[in-house]
Structure 1
Amino acid sequence: MDMSSISFVDPLIWGKLVEIIALNIVLSGDNAVVIALACRALAPNQRAKGIALGAGVAVVLRVLFTVLIASLLNAPFLRIIGAALLIWIAVKLILEDGEGDENAVAASSKLWKAVQTVAIADIVMSLDNVLAIAAVAKDSIPLLIAGLVISIPLIVLGASLITNLLTRFPILVWAGAALLGWVAGDMFDSDPWLITRFGADALHSLEYPVAALGALLVLSLGYWFKSRRPDPAL
């Protein structure tokens, strides 16, 4: 996608934007909970400010991080590696469904300490978000930034709602994992090394089949690994 020719009246652009927001919401449930946990010990009159500041710092850092990753994805083989990582992240998302990070973040009673905790935790936990969003946005930095700016405040404001939805409707986790697999297939199909070797036209004709194969692979692996886990009730 040519960054200079981006147009927000293009339905394809809106489709990509919705895809970025959906991925961010599915992948950021834990991040939103981390923000709430880090700020839970703040005084009531500082809690909203801590969440807002923490989210703001997280937005800026994540945009910079994602732009860096997006620029690196233009190198040969990195999209292939990124696709493999996304498949692993998607399967991990299925396997970790229901497991939280409640004990991973300490609360702080000081505003800037809480903001620092939020920012660091968000960056540490956001490799999956960054990689997926960079894969969708490809060369469009405005699209990448727009998707992050729109979705991150939604995640912060709706942290408990998102967490409850994902817990109550596990199918949403599977749908998000399948979407990640789709993005992984699309990323794999657009690797510069493969384009040089097989030609852009040949790979373009395989774009949807490879993306669908990525989604199917994630769901199959997720189901297989999940079915082999011992039943905790036994």
Structure 2
Amino acid sequence: MGDIFTGELVTRFLGILLIDLILSGDNAVVIALAVRNLEGRTRRRAIFWGAFGAIALRLLFAGVVTYLLLVPLLPAVAALLLIWVAWKLLFQGEEEDHGEVEAGQSIWQAVRIIIVADVIMSLDNVVALVGVADGNLWLILFGILITIPLIIYGARILSSLMDRLPWLVYLGSGVLVFVAYEMFVGDPIVHEYLEGTVFVLYERIIAVLLAALFMGVGYLRARQMRAAPPKTG
């Protein structure tokens, strides 16, 4: 058992829990908006089938992304995408607006809205999940399956949790930056080019420092944005 539950595996497991917790909030909000005109049993069925379709597509995306990350240079590209996801995560409250999400007038219309919205929103989530899992298929499967209760029941809970514990968002963005650096340096072509340099020899230390720097810059910018007077006109 000790060989199975290694320290690195447990760390990645906890990282997936954290990333899922933070990144599932938007999907939960989209579901709530898509079914807002439905009632009772019809609403519950729309939520179930919409979430079912979204999860099935995430499994497909995860398989494709895992395969693509075996291609040289694509892990480096995915690492840059993770940096963007981490930055967006820090400022999603200021930048994202779900008010334009259409409300379904029937169960299957709502299901279509949920699935289409999730496809648009979930690609970066899947890349983050695959990156944190480091290609471990069991961790990827766990990460996708655990999103089911989070996106079905979690909108109100997740938004409340993020308000009460905002440091979780900063920690999550730091995890993504850490993983992004490891993924970038681990790319076969990049690794061959940087082999023997400080960027590889002190990979973990540099990854931690970059994550801390990213969280610090994000925190300072967030404070500056909150302190800025509101725009008029």
Q: TM-score, normalised by structure 1?
A: 0.85
Pair 84,228 (structure 1): closer, same or farther in 2 beyond 3 Å: farther
Partner of 1:109: 105
| Distance in 2 separating the partners of 1:27 and 1:120 | 17
Query: Which residue number corresponds to residue 73 of structure 2?
Result: 77
Q: Does 1:145 align with 2:141?
A: yes
Deviations 1:45-77 (A, max 9, x none): 211121111111111101111221121112222
Separation of aligned partners in 2, 1:161 and 1:222: 24
Instruction: Give the % identical residues.
Output: 37
The more displaced of 201-210 and 116-125 is 201-210
Provide closer, same or farther for how the CA distance between residues 43 and 162 of structure 1 changes in structure 2, counting only shifts above 3 A: same
**Displacement, 1:203?**
6.9
1-structure distance, mates of 2:198, 2:142: 31
Q: Which amino acid aligns with 1:133?
A: L
The 1-side partners of 2:149 and 2:64 are apart by 22
Paired residues of 2:35 and 2:110 also in contact (CA < 8 A) = yes
- 2:230 is aligned, of 226, 229, 232, to 232
1:152-201 CA distance string (max 9 Å, x none): 32332222101111133322221221121122122122111123334599
Could you tell me which residue of structure 2 aligns to residue 164 of structure 1? 160
Aligned to 1:16: 12
Distance 1:8 1:149 in 2: 21
Q: Distance in 2 between matches of 1:51 and 1:213?
A: 41
Q: 1:18 to 1:151 in 2, by over 3 A?
A: farther
Name the counterpart of 1:218. 214
* 1:178-197 correspondence runs (5 A): 178-197=174-193
1:91 and 1:219 in contact (8 A); partners too: no
| Number of the residue aligned with 1:40 | 36
Would the aligned equivalents of 1:21 and 1:151 in 2 still touch at CA under 8 Å?
A: no
- 1:122-133 paired onto structure 2 within 5 Å: 122-133=118-129
Structure 1 gaps of 5+ residues are 1-6
TM-score w.r.t. the length of structure 2 is 0.85
Q: Which moved more, 1:210-219 or 1:129-138?
A: 210-219
Count of residue pairs brought into register by the alignment: 228
C-alpha distance in 2 between matches for 1:202 and 1:172: 30
> Alpha carbons of 1:233 and 1:52: their partners in 2 closer, same or farther (altered >3 Å)?
same
Match of 1:4 in 2: none
CA distance in 2, matches of 1:164, 1:150: 19
Give the counterpart letter for 2:101 in structure 1.
V
Matched residue SS, 1:105? coil
Q: Which moved more, 1:224-233 or 1:135-144?
A: 224-233
CA RMSD of aligned residues (A): 2.6
Q: Bigger shift: 23-32 or 164-173?
A: 164-173
Deviations 1:116-166 (A, max 9, x none): 111111110112211111112233223211221123323322221011111
- 8-17 or 18-27, which deviates more: 8-17
In structure 2, what is the Cα distance between the partners aligned to 1:62 and 1:192?
26
Q: Which runs of 5+ in 2 are unaligned?
A: none
